[in-house]
Amino acid sequence: MIGTNKTRVIVSPRDIDFLEQLAETKILDREQFQIVAGISRINRANHRLLQLHSAHLIRRHFVGTVAGGRKAIYSLSTRGAHLIGRNKFWRLYRAEDELLIGDSFTAHQTAVNWVWISAKYRCPAGVEFLRWLNFREPLTASLGIIPDGYFEFRASGEDRAQFIEADLGTEGLKAWEQKTREYLKLATSGEFNRLFHQNRFRVLVTAPDERRLNSIRGIVRKHTNKLFFFIEQKTIHRDGLFTSSWLRPEGGERCSLI
């Protein structure tokens, strides 16, 4: 049992697992918490998040929604980090319960987290999630790319590797020229095999809307029709990663990752 004199919470193994996942994902909202914790009922999820927050195991902030309202996002607190044995952890240095206006980090991290959730918790039958990696620095001294994530899954007896690039439309398209060249260099230099012990990889690009998606496709298409797969972020949110809605750099035919 943990908490203040007014708030006592019996911490369950599911709570511990959630705190550990939160340490990796930095932030999660209620809908994402439901998937991670395996809680189907919204009221029950809200109640448990309120208990964990009242016990100071998680921190709470708010972001605006498309409909003009607001929703809560949660991050790990110092007490929560100590409970799971984390001396060092990422922290959102904003006041508790503050409304985050124009905060691009939370939007970007939420988009990345939906990919992570879909890869780890929404695999179809016959697909096994293997691992997820986050990066804080460039992959190598000669390559400036810092992917938004990397994961591997196994399907039909084959391990498949992919980097994640979650685009919000906030950076210039010239950045995609450089990213494309560097991913191609990673694929042909032998560095990928040395670093990840896999023979090949894909780059999964998520975009905020169809217009932005097609603009990035046009940049990539000038260099290659390989490696890259594209999808709108709302499609992953709705259908997951393993939908037959991915586009390649060239053509309009949609495909699956498996």
Q: Enumerate the domain spans of the chain.
A: 2-101, 112-239
pLDDT in tens, 181-227: 999 999 999 999 999 999 999 999 999 999 999 999 999 999 999 99
**Is residue 52 within 8 Å of residue 117, measured between CB atoms?**
no
pLDDT above 90 for 66? no
pTM of the model: 0.92
Helix (H, G, I), strand (E, B) or coil at 42: helix
CATH of domain 112-239: 3.40.91.50
CATH of the domain spanning 2-101:
1.10.10.10
Q: Is the Cβ–Cβ distance between 127 and 155 less than 8 Å?
A: yes
SS3 per residue for 164-196 = EEECCCCCCCHHHHHHHHHHHHHHHHCHHHHHH
Is 112-239 the same fold as 2-101?
Answer: no
Residue 3 — pLDDT band, cuts 50, 70, 90?
low
